[in-house]
Amino acid sequence: GDALAVSARVAPLGSRLVLLLVEDLTEARRIEAVRRDFVANVSHELKTPVGALSLLSEAVLDASDDPEAVERFAGRMQNEATRLTNLVQELIDLSRVQNDDPLEDSESVQVDELVTEAIERSRQSADNKQITLLAGGTEGLHVWGNRGQLAAALGNLVENAVNYSPARTRVKVAGRLTQSPGGDLIEIAVTDQGIGISDRDKERIFERFYRVDPARSRATGGTGLGLSIVKHVAASHGGEVTVWSAEGQGSTFTLRLPEAGSAREQAALDKADR
């Protein structure tokens, strides 16, 4: 249907571009399916923490003469609130990924800015677990792409690093410029000292709704959508996301994205070619 209509329209531009566009439409359908499944699950996923919060606040009121009980209930309220925040954040990410076409809305985006936003987003959960958030090497680097989508992708990686790490560990975000045959790339690596991922699971974690440990992931407000969003964003920007991990030691997720100046030059060359 629409895929064919599009390929007829752009056929003069060459078959490679047509292929890319058709792939993009298939991807758009996949994201649409993710959204539908998510909306189907979301009322339940939202009801659980809201229900818990309402019960816990009643419990706090009843226990007002028992400071220890109040503290315990307040701690659980904090967990439920974090869970709600994460769920809402994932909804926002999904709508960002769905509505904007990265190819149309691309601009030069400061990596510093993306990293700061990603870290701010996980600040509260990191503080709760006394996890230290560090950043380095990002100064002066620019990537080419859709700001909102890139922020969603990096935000997810940092959030996961915090969620799947024990207390009093470190999460580090490091940027660097690298060369590739297709032009300069920016690498943004998120490293944690967390639980790690087995080789078997590494192949599956980027699938939507896949979670290594559903119970643990649920406790942090995870839905199994985060990494599928990251993968989609990386691919639609002409980049990639890869993972290195050792069980019990930690993980590094690396986003590779086109460098802004290099991408602009490439776009100008492509234009001159036509």
Helix (H, G, I), strand (E, B) or coil at 12: helix
- Cβ pair 256, 185 in contact under 8 A: yes
In whole angstroms, what is the distance from residue 245 CA to residue 194 CA? Answer: 10
- Count of CB atoms within 10 A of residue 205's CB? 20
Give the residue ranges of DSSP H helices in the chain.
2-10, 15-62, 67-99, 111-128, 147-163, 199-202, 214-219, 226-236, 260-273
CB of 198 to ligand ADP, least distance (A): 10
CB of 263 to ligand ADP, least distance (A): 27
Q: Which two tokens stand for residue 133?
A: 């958030």
User: How many residues at the interface with ligand ADP, by CB under 6 A?
Assistant: 23
CB of 231 to ligand ADP, least distance (A): 9
Q: Where in 160-219 is the site for ligand ADP (CB under 6 A)?
A: 160-161, 164, 192, 194-197, 205, 210-213, 217
93 binds ligand ADP (CB under 6 A): no
Shortest CA distance to 182 belongs to which of 272, 103, 263, 269?
A: 263
CB of 157 to ligand ADP, least distance (A): 8
In the list 77, 97, 111, 227, the residue contacting ligand ADP (rule: CB under 6 A) is 227
Q: Which two tokens stand for residue 82?
A: 């974090």
Amino acid letter for position 118: A
Shortest CA distance to 191 belongs to which of 160, 217, 218?
A: 160
82 binds ligand ADP (CB under 6 A): no
CB of 119 to ligand ADP, least distance (A): 15
Q: Which two tokens stand for residue 172?
A: 């580090």
Shortest CA distance to 154 belongs to which of 116, 202, 185?
A: 116
Which position has the token pair 């086109």?
A: 258
Question: Is the Cβ of residue 84 or residue 263 nearer to ligand ADP in the bound state?
Answer: 84
CB of 223 to ligand ADP, least distance (A): 5
**Cα–Cα distances in angstroms (integers) from residue 80 to residues 29, 56, 133, in the given order:** 32, 10, 22
- Count of CB atoms within 10 A of residue 19's CB? 11
CB of 209 to ligand ADP, least distance (A): 8
CB of 106 to ligand ADP, least distance (A): 25
Task: Indicate the length of the chain as a whole number.
Answer: 274
Question: Is the Cβ of residue 158 or residue 260 nearer to ligand ADP in the bound state?
Answer: 158
Question: Is the Cβ of residue 141 or residue 197 nearer to ligand ADP in the bound state?
Answer: 197
Question: Is the Cβ of residue 144 or residue 206 nearer to ligand ADP in the bound state?
Answer: 206
Question: Is the Cβ of residue 185 or residue 197 nearer to ligand ADP in the bound state?
Answer: 197
Show the site string, 127-166: x = touches ligand ADP by CB under 6 A, - = not.
-----------------------------x---xx--x--
226 binds ligand ADP (CB under 6 A): yes
224 binds ligand ADP (CB under 6 A): yes
Binding residues for ligand ADP (CB under 6 A): 156, 160-161, 164, 192, 194-197, 205, 210-213, 217, 222-228, 251
